[in-house]
Amino acid sequence: MANVPAEEWGADQAIQMIPNDYLRYYWFAAEMIRKEEEREERGLGTRAAEMLRIEQDLFARYQEPSLTTLPEELSRRGGAYCSEVAVTAMVAIANDQNRLMVVNGLNGKTIADLPSDVVVDVTAKVNRKGACSLYPGPLPLQVRGLIQQVKVYETLTIEAAVRINRDLALAGLIANPLVHSAKVAEHLLHDILNANREDLPEGWT
């Protein structure tokens, strides 16, 4: 897989699965932090800062009436083929194709190890009725804990946003596998709220 360099992975033999690119942030956290620090030392800024620059360039390109091909910046942004997936899903629904696709959907009873009301990314049969998730069986023990912990972080963060609740926001950050200290979580929340103060609804303190 182009976005998962083989030389970075040695654990796939142990877990008996093809690793998703995002796992590098959890399984190689120290290495990823070191790469970010190296970017800063070279004057490139963080990946997040780079993404903001790329998106500004993309928005400018999309305003060009003569643009008829995918901008080169899109390959550096990521998600270049999401539009193809979306069209494929629409075609499968319109033509009742029973196409197997990986989609986001309400969990329900699909994965028993997760709450029924969360969204999961699973293989589904896509046809005129929409996307019908296929039961993948229990989560493998090798990754069950990480998946559940990430879902707890996501759920608490959503609850915090809906209820405008600082305690829930802090609890979500503490639950995040990438945040290894409650003190760090407190500093992160303080910085996040300060950086986004103008865009937050009333009630956040």
Catalytic positions: 22
Dihedral sign for Cα 103, 155, 145, 15, please. Answer: positive
Token pair, residue 183, equals: 């003190």
- In which residue are the tokens 């009301």 written? 117
Smallest CA-to-CA distance from 169 within 194, 149, 190 is with 190
Q: Is there a contact between 50 and 176 (Cβ–Cβ < 8 Å)?
A: no
- In which residue are the tokens 């990946």 written? 47
- CA 167 to chain CA centroid, Å, is 23
Helix and strand numbers (H, E) in the chain are 9, 3
Q: Is there a contact between 120 and 95 (Cβ–Cβ < 8 Å)?
A: no
Q: Is there a contact between 132 and 98 (Cβ–Cβ < 8 Å)?
A: no
Residues 6+ positions from 50 with CB-CB distance below 8 Å: 44
First to last CA, the chain: 44
